[in-house]
Structure 1
Amino acid sequence: MTGPLLDARLVVDRGSFRLDVPLRVAAGEVVALLGPNGAGKTTALRALAGLHPLTDGHVTLDGVDLDRPAHGAWVPTERRRVGVVFQDYLLFPHLTALDNVAFGPRRHGADRRAARDTARQWLDRVGLGGQAHRRPRQLSGGQAQRVALARALAVTPSLLLLDEPLAALDARTRAETRAELHGHLAAHPGATLLVTHDPLDALALADRLVIVEGGRVVQEGDGASVTARPRTDYVARLVGLNLHRGRAGGDQVRVADDLTLTVADRVDGDAFVAFRPAAVAVHPGRPDGSPRNTWPATVGGVQRHGDYLRVRLDGPIVVAADVTPAAAAQLRLAPGRRVWAAVKAAETHAYPATG
């Protein structure tokens, strides 16, 4: 990879909300912008596409300033080498698949014949050559997504923007389309930014994750590093971990006034402790032998989670525990039930909260 093809600092003020996100994406790289609803992901995508001007900062693509308020630089949407696949695809309902894909090249100056030739090539590449004369209402969700992708790529964009590209699909179509999309993104020579709230899409499609909360980057890195060391509750929930911050000294981390956990890693200073819900054991009374990591808790809620039940345990810390339905019945787990929670030190992972 060379880089960065995209060099941006996206600063957008919208009332009381302020987006301030630095973003660099290399040629051939796929970066996922991941975050909860209201984090600023869509605002960032619209700013890159030229649909929302920056308040400050810059968008530089392949060495050209597309938006830099301090210098009065602004390139309108239609002149940017940017392709966009919107969440709902936004195909033109009155145009065929062929003419939908040909629309971009036509807007970039190609004559009708050349634009249609390009469109045919792209429909063939996404496996829809035989659907060229169908209109959007005659296409399945997966087919519409591929037409939208072909339309975005037909302008040979330096930057491809994907806004929740799989969100509108059912589970089976989504899995199939995700695999196909991965192949197309791997072949795209430009920079790609995928905006999503789905961790599976992000981990399957992206080379690097940028996590945004409240308009700010809270964590970034490859999938393995982000999932191994989450730094916020949102990221921890995303990857299915309990996460607690505390003060560490050696193999002890104080996570609440009346609870210190013994951990497998030696850390000093501010630290995070993470462990899986499956690592939390639930007992009707204080466990015999009293392992050091035990504490009294109250069942706050019980929900089905795959083949298990996920139990929220309130106490000095709030944790999630996964138990079998049989164990839940035996323990009579219901909201308000008082129990004891335990987690083995070997099941924990502790790491510095800074750096």
Structure 2
Amino acid sequence: MSLLDARLVAERGAFRLDIGLRIEPGETVALLGPNGAGKTTALRALAGLTPLSGGHLTLGGEDLRGTPTERRPIGVVFQDYLLFPHLSARDNVAFGPRRHGLDRRAAHAVADRWLDRVGLAEHGRRKPRQLSGGQAQRVALARALAVDPVLLLLDEPLAALDARTRLETRGELRRHLAEHPGATLIVTHDPLDALVLADRLVIVEHGRVVQEGDAATITARPRTDYVARLVGLNLYRGRGGGHTVELSDGFVLTSTDIVHGDAFVAFPPAAVALHPHQPDGSPRNTWPAVLADVQQHGDSLRVRLDGPISVAADITPAAAAQMGLTPGQELWVAVKAAETRAYPASG
């Protein structure tokens, strides 16, 4: 049996959450999804802050459905950290152990050990307002871990940090999570946080799990438009007929993969070549398109094109200048069959 074994069914107005979650000892799982997908509802249900209307919730073999929030062996790091502003960093971390019955001296000893582990041994007397964002995040993590939680819940743990602090803190957080013997669930909308911190990803949309697996599986075979955008792929669904996938409007994409029945076909924007005229030669997939939009995308340009299918392409600024790209321009799109991946839509 998994350390965490849950089916979370919860109602919030017209919204209904119904997802299954299993996490093994020492495993970190990231719960990913767009805004309104149910990520925070799931976290609050696990913490006991949102009541379940159905399903089950066991942690370490113990049924938690009737257990009050304060008695659950769970540590939570909220998005805004929610440190007690009137308490020092040391007293913030000692708060949980005190609630669990330790006397002041013992609780402070626990807090001192955790502040040392997160690199803040010299900051114990500081109030939250005297800490940087990264330091406050580490105090919140130490506070959550100081109660030896069986389950650690992290709600957008890096969202409040600036880009540079986020990069540094992400590496530190990964090290602490690797040392945590219990189960960890990270709720995030940031794919990089999920890919760096988690062993496994669970994708939720509209209160349901739409895909789960390790990063390699998710990125290689996305199953919804949201997941495709998350991992940066063009994704289409249609009917496989060997080396071809026919989309609902009759447009056909060719792949070197063989697939039959309901299928997806995907390819990265970098695989899309743009031509001012219909190209000759090897590409099996060519079609006319109209340039809809051009945006900066890292060191390249992300071009969105309309036509028989909408497609995103990545090109260099030099190539864009050479073709004189402007919105409304007519172009030809080419994608080699070998650059596509076709796979069954089920399974």
TM normalised by structure 1 equals 0.95
Q: For residues 1-355 of structure 1, what are the structure 2 equivalents within 5 Å?
A: 3-67=1-65, 74-289=66-281, 291-355=283-347
CA distance in 2 between counterparts of 1:61 and 1:292 reads: 53
CA distance in 2 between counterparts of 1:346 and 1:179 reads: 36
CA distance in 2 between counterparts of 1:247 and 1:87 reads: 43
Deviation at 1:291, TM superposition (A): 3.5
Structure 2: gaps (5+ residues): none
**SS in structure 2 of the partner of residue 294 of structure 1:** strand
**What is the identity, as a one-letter code, of the residue corresponding to 1:108?**
H
Deviation at 1:196, TM superposition (A): 0.6
Deviation at 1:256, TM superposition (A): 4.7
328-337 vs 20-29, which moves further: 328-337
**What is the identity, as a one-letter code, of the residue corresponding to 2:95?**
F
Alpha carbons 2:98, 2:104 under 8 Å: kept: yes
**SS in structure 1 of the partner of residue 64 of structure 2:** strand
CA distance in 1 between counterparts of 2:283 and 2:94 reads: 67
**What is the identity, as a one-letter code, of the residue corresponding to 1:310?**
R
Alpha carbons 1:300, 1:312 under 8 Å: kept: yes
CA distance in 2 between counterparts of 1:334 and 1:87 reads: 41
Number of equivalences: 347
Deviation at 1:113, TM superposition (A): 1.2
Alpha carbons 1:256, 1:317 under 8 Å: kept: no
Alpha carbons 2:84, 2:128 under 8 Å: kept: yes
Deviation at 1:165, TM superposition (A): 0.5
**What is the identity, as a one-letter code, of the residue corresponding to 2:41?**
T
CA distance in 2 between counterparts of 1:15 and 1:333 reads: 48
Alpha carbons 1:256, 1:316 under 8 Å: kept: no
CA distance in 1 between counterparts of 2:327 and 2:96 reads: 56
TM normalised by structure 2 equals 0.98
CA distance in 2 between counterparts of 1:251 and 1:289 reads: 19
CA distance in 2 between counterparts of 1:289 and 1:152 reads: 60
CA distance in 2 between counterparts of 1:4 and 1:292 reads: 47
CA distance in 2 between counterparts of 1:216 and 1:42 reads: 13
**What is the identity, as a one-letter code, of the residue corresponding to 2:64?**
L
Alpha carbons 2:283, 2:337 under 8 Å: kept: no
CA distance in 2 between counterparts of 1:258 and 1:353 reads: 18
**SS in structure 1 of the partner of residue 35 of structure 2:** coil
Deviation at 1:290, TM superposition (A): 7.4
Residues 290/223 of structure 1: CA separation in 2 closer, same or farther (3 Å cut): closer
Deviation at 1:300, TM superposition (A): 1.5
**SS in structure 1 of the partner of residue 328 of structure 2:** coil
CA distance in 2 between counterparts of 1:336 and 1:45 reads: 45
Deviation at 1:258, TM superposition (A): 4.1
CA distance in 2 between counterparts of 1:290 and 1:41 reads: 45
CA distance in 1 between counterparts of 2:165 and 2:59 reads: 33
Alpha carbons 1:105, 1:155 under 8 Å: kept: yes
Alpha carbons 1:255, 1:317 under 8 Å: kept: no
Structure 1: gaps (5+ residues): 68-73
Partner of 1:70: none
Deviation at 1:333, TM superposition (A): 2.1
CA distance in 1 between counterparts of 2:250 and 2:293 reads: 23
**What is the identity, as a one-letter code, of the residue corresponding to 1:150?**
A
**SS in structure 2 of the partner of residue 327 of structure 1:** helix
CA distance in 1 between counterparts of 2:338 and 2:282 reads: 16
Deviation at 1:287, TM superposition (A): 1.2
CA distance in 2 between counterparts of 1:34 and 1:354 reads: 21
Identical aligned pairs, as a percentage?
76
CA distance in 1 between counterparts of 2:53 and 2:332 reads: 52
CA distance in 1 between counterparts of 2:319 and 2:183 reads: 49
